[in-house]
Structure 1
Amino acid sequence: MRLDLADLQLFLCIADAGSITAGAQRANLALASASERLRKMERAVGVALLERRARGVTTTEAGEALAHHARLILRQQDTLKGELLDYAAGARGTLHLYANTAALTVFLPNLLAPWLAERPRLRIELKERTSVDIVRNVASGLAEAGIVSSAVSAEGLHLQPVASDHLVLVAAPHHPLADRRSLAFAEVLGEAFVGLAQGSALQDHINEHARVAGRPLDVRIRMNSFEALCQMVAHGIGLGILPLGIARLHRRRHGLRVIALSDAWARRELCLCFRDWSELSMPMRSLLGHLGGHPGPAEAGWPAGR
């Protein structure tokens, strides 16, 4: 027995109308075509589904059973269509978004909340990685997109700035430089520092600029998190260099002074990172668009990397 969805829809149209003629009209079929399909259905199931009368038709007991299950099947089909449309529109499913610590801590929470609240069937799995790792994963196709620092090299990828991510100095209130509003990096190279752990992309970035300036940082201790770094700085162990957003989060808790770095390299941005807008899934396009991303001018010729 083979009954397709069109057969079930036609049968329900006829059963609900109480007439083969009226049912055929509801199903947008010619009467002869509807009658032939109905005969094939009855041959396929081996039993009469309708009782023909002078003024129309009524369902037999077998026809009632078919109508019941046909409604269930068609209702399930509508549910399936709706769910698939949700997936296509980005309203259902699971998105994997990679972000560096600054983006995850400062940039994303306020922006993600309203977007996700409008999509109750969608899940987002945030993955915290360094900007270097994110670029590597996006370039290799292991990740659709991520949020990285503009300081990272991203050859062949698109970087779209969406927020400032300036680096600043943090100092204990009693530090001799605590009252300065702005300093050049060269002015503090003789000071003791609290650094981030080996392998930190941010720390590597800072170390490289110290090397270019001709004097390596005097790092007294390396910490695995911004929170731990701020605790050390608050106790006068040394200066620290952090993204401004993170420094603001910890300033009151630890009584830190925040001092601007005047160097051009310290004026970084947070950027959306992806290979090709047209290759992104619809949900990811929706999310990146909400975060400030866009396809770029025709997506062709739009600058890759920075």
Structure 2
Amino acid sequence: MNLHALRLFHVIASSGSVTRASEQLNISQPAITAQVKKFEKELGLNLLKPQGRGIALTEAGEKLAAHATRLFAVEQQIEQLVLDYQSGAKGAIRLAATYLPANFLLPAWIAGFKQKYEQVEMSITTTNSAGAMKLLLNMEADMAVFGGAAEEWEDSIQMEQLFEDELWFVVSPLHPYAGRKIGLEEMVKQPFVMREEGSSTRERLFSLCRTYNLPAPRVALQFNGLHEAITSVVAGYGASFVSSLVVRDYVERGALCRVDVEGIRLRNTIGVCTRRKEPLSAAADHFIQMIRQSPYVQTPV
């Protein structure tokens, strides 16, 4: 079926005359009339009939006009859908995130994004660094937000640093090292409360010990979440090595104390990883643009 001719017929039917159709389409009346007559011949049906000085629809024309109205309404919906996805007003974003950004950054970022792009669907998988990288490489996530970036990346992955925060040694206020300045060798003799293997912060601590030729610290308690690990230290057991974003409030209200370890000033990278040379959807690109404008990114901790 000639859809162009069907569209001409549809405009005639909806406007009520060839003259008005000609004005709307900016096509001459003779050209429209000729194409509609050719269309009728192709169909083997009379769609229009004379009525006074104008025209009217035949019974077949009325039936076809009803279907054409629905067809071109769906076409408009499709065009709008495409525009929405192209503009980022609609779409889906699959996020993988390590525990630090998932708990302390993403909730505010996502809330701000959804206020502007309500129809964009978002799914978030919280895991450790190794798990987030695996999801990204397996194309099960569109981007991965890391707190404590790994030292090496696959060639197919590109990483954009958003900002940095500090890594702190923290203990309970009742701990003998609370508020003191001590050496790293003494610090790592303490029992540590840490996240599971695969946690980037845990790997940073172990790497720090290897750099200074010190024995690896004893991880006396291991949790899969940040909150559980910090709560145990607040309760009075052991020490932890953690992002300042996680424990800054605890320290300010006196629930935890920093330990000043001589010569150790480590920074923690907060970054977003995507697959290299693979364009992001418009929605995902809008999300990255938004988090670049967040207060943390504009004013690093």
> Under TM normalisation by the shorter chain, which class is it?
0.7 to 0.9
Letter of the structure 1 residue corresponding to residue 200 of structure 2: A
The corresponding residue for 1:223 is 223
Q: TM-score, normalised by structure 2?
A: 0.83
The corresponding residue for 1:135 is 133
Within 1, Cα distance between the matches of 2:108 and 2:184? Answer: 32
1:206 to 2:212 alignment: no
The corresponding residue for 2:296 is none
Question: Quick one: structure 1 residues 204 and 18, their matched pair in 2 at CA, closer, same or farther if it must change by over 3 Å?
Answer: closer
The corresponding residue for 1:196 is 195
Q: TM-score, normalised by structure 1?
A: 0.82
C-alpha contact (below 8 Å) 2:161/2:272 kept by paired residues: yes
Letter of the structure 2 residue corresponding to residue 159 of structure 1: M
- SS of the residue corresponding to residue 127 of structure 1 reads strand
Letter of the structure 2 residue corresponding to residue 220 of structure 1: A
- SS of the residue corresponding to residue 176 of structure 1 reads coil
My pick for the range that moved more, 11-20 or 267-276, is 11-20
Sequence identity of aligned pairs in percent?
23
The corresponding residue for 1:297 is none
Within 2, Cα distance between the matches of 1:240 and 1:12? Answer: 72
My pick for the range that moved more, 248-257 or 232-241, is 248-257
The corresponding residue for 1:273 is 273
C-alpha contact (below 8 Å) 2:130/2:199 kept by paired residues: no
1:48-127 matches, cutoff 5 A:
48-53=46-51, 55-127=53-125
Q: Which digits, 9 at most, give the CA deviation of each residue in 1:134-157, with x for residues without a partner?
A: 334435655432112234322533
The corresponding residue for 1:23 is 21
The corresponding residue for 2:39 is 41
1:241 to 2:257 alignment: no
Q: Which runs of 5+ in 2 are unaligned?
A: 294-301
Instruction: Give the CA deviation at 1:267.
Output: 0.8
Question: Quick one: structure 1 residues 198 and 254, their matched pair in 2 at CA, closer, same or farther if it must change by over 3 Å?
Answer: farther
1:279-290 matches, cutoff 5 A:
279-290=279-290
Letter of the structure 1 residue corresponding to residue 285 of structure 2: R
Aligned length: 290
Instruction: Give the CA deviation at 1:224.
Output: 2.5
- SS of the residue corresponding to residue 279 of structure 1 reads coil
Within 1, Cα distance between the matches of 2:20 and 2:171? Answer: 83
- SS of the residue corresponding to residue 179 of structure 2 reads coil
> What's the C-alpha RMSD, in Å, of the aligned pairs?
2.8
- SS of the residue corresponding to residue 52 of structure 1 reads strand
Q: Which digits, 9 at most, give the CA deviation of each residue in 1:163-220, with x for residues without a partner?
A: 334211221110122224x766445123232232234332122112112222221332
Instruction: Give the CA deviation at 1:73.
Output: 1.6
